[in-house]
Amino acid sequence: MNKKNFLVVHTPGSFGNFIAYLIDCHKAKTILQNPFIQSGASHARPKEGATVSLDIVDTGKWSDVYKNTDKTVVGCVWQQHYFNYILHAYYSRTNSGQFGRCGIEYCEQNFYDFIKKHNATGRMQQDIQDLKTLFGVTITSKNKTVPRHVLRMYFWYKMIEYEKNTVVKENNNIKNYSNIELIDVADIIVYDKLQAFLTKLLGVKLDFKETHTRFLQKNRSLMEYNKSLEILDAVKQGKNIAIENLTTMGEAMILFYLETHYFDIPFFNTVDFFRNTEQIVSYVKHFPNSLRQPNKLFCKHYKRFSPNVVS
């Protein structure tokens, strides 16, 4: 067995537990027990004797990194365009399984209990405060549900204001940490690239193709991220495809990509969402010229959101 010790650091959703699991598989030179919970996160792996994976967003975790100078640190990082995926996973694939197959679906049914049951309930209280400030929605034990169209717009707002999100800050901190082996989310989802990284890191080539396939199949966040981009491409090409079975986060991604592409056409947050791309094409085609203007948040962040930057 490989005696080298590792420490994996990551933000939520960037596959830190999966990488730690695969490190242990390579050290044992065999595929270990299935680590996946219902949401697809690798949170079912045993803790005792296993490679430690630290969600660096949690308070005090950097102190743990500084204490482990004898270990090789592996950092899971991501590029800016993956933020919407990370945001989805932050809510959908979180914790140890108390939210079933999807934390966002749980949010849609009972936002109050989602916050209350979350392992980081103190940090997540900010969501309740923000919903009241931004939308006038007061979440209490007697009013547990956020209207679907409000929750959709709340997630959309987070996408626009991504620079303020703590996961962005900590992702950059990981990238800038010295003496660290970095792997990008974009490489983790490609089997050959991930296998090459782990082979170089541990000096062992292991066939984990089947496990990697299950890892992708169980990742609803990645599926909805890719689906939202597919829908945008269909709209650009004038193709008609159905829009169905998405969470509010998936719908928010579509609104975000549509607004950043068309820029001066606001996509108003109606109660009922688009059912297919034909409806979106019609909306764009017949939007009144006299009402075309970028939304106020685009104007506020003009350096990040402008036709030259996002087209």
pLDDT, tens digit, 9 for 90 and up, residues 278-303:
999 999 999 999 999 888 877 666 66
The answer to whether position 95 is within a domain reads no
Same domain, 133 and 22: no
Choosing from 204, 219, 234, the residue where a domain stops is 219
Report the alpha-carbon distance of residue 104 to residue 101 in Å, rounded.
Answer: 9
CA atoms of 129 and 107, how far apart (whole Å): 15
Q: Are residues 241 and 290 in the same domain?
A: yes
Residues 143 and 233 both lie in one domain: no
Same domain, 237 and 305: yes
Number of domains in the chain: 3
Query: pLDDT, tens digit, for every residue of 150-160?
Result: 999 999 999 99
Position 152 in a domain: yes
Per-residue pLDDT tens digits for 260-275: 899 889 888 889 999 9
pLDDT at 158: 95
Name the band, by pLDDT with cuts 50, 70 and 90, for residue 123: confident
Single-letter amino acid, residue 99? F
R_g over Cα of the chain: 21
Q: Are 179 and 66 members of one domain?
A: yes
Tell me the average pLDDT across 110-128: 92
**Mean pLDDT score, 183-205:** 98
How confident is residue 307, by pLDDT bands cut at 50, 70 and 90?
Answer: low
Q: Please check whether residue 1 lies inside any domain of the structure.
A: no
Quote the CA–CA distance of 30 and 163 in Å, as a whole number. 41
Same domain, yes or no, for 12 and 66? yes
What amino acid occupies position 227?
K
Specify whether 83 is located in the same domain as 60. yes
Q: Report yes or no on 256 lying in a domain.
A: yes
60: left (phi over 0), alpha (psi -120 to 50) or beta: left
Q: Calculate the CA 147 to chain-centre distance.
A: 22
The pLDDT tens digits of the residues spanning 198-217 come to 999 999 999 999 999 999 99
- Asked if 71 and 175 sit in the same domain, the reply is yes
- Average pLDDT on 240-255 reads 97
Q: What strand order describes the sheet that includes 72-77?
A: 52-55, 6-10, 72-77, 180-184
- What pLDDT score was predicted for residue 293? 87
Rounded to 5 degrees, what angle do the CA atoms 118, 55, 155 make? 55
| CA–CA gap between residue 21 and residue 37 (Å, rounded) | 13
Kindly state whether residue 86 falls inside one of the protein's structural domains. Answer: yes
With a cut of 60, say whether residue 24 has pLDDT above it.
yes
Range of the domain at 20: 6-90+165-219
On whether both 126 and 46 belong to a single domain, the answer is: no
For residue 59, what pLDDT is reported?
85
What confidence category does residue 135 fall into, taking pLDDT thresholds of 50, 70 and 90? Answer: very high
Measure the CA–CA gap between 154 and 252, rounded to whole angstroms.
8
Q: Both 84 and 170 in a single domain? A: yes
Q: 4 falls in which pLDDT band (50, 70, 90)?
A: confident
Domain boundary among 164, 183, 210: 164
pLDDT in tens, 31-80: 999 999 999 999 999 888 999 999 999 888 999 999 988 999 999 999 99
Please report which confidence band the pLDDT of residue 99 belongs to, taking 50, 70 and 90 as the band edges.
Answer: very high
Whether residues 286 and 231 share a domain: the answer is yes
Look at residue 221 in the predicted model and tell me its pLDDT: 95
Confidence of residue 148 (pLDDT cuts 50, 70, 90): very high
* 45 and 148 inside one domain: no
Alpha carbon 119 to chain centroid, angstroms: 17
Rounded distance between C-alpha atoms, residue 19 and residue 193, angstroms: 13
Given this model, what pLDDT does residue 120 score?
86
Q: What is the pTM of this model?
A: 0.92
Residue given tokens 């017949």 in the structure block: 286
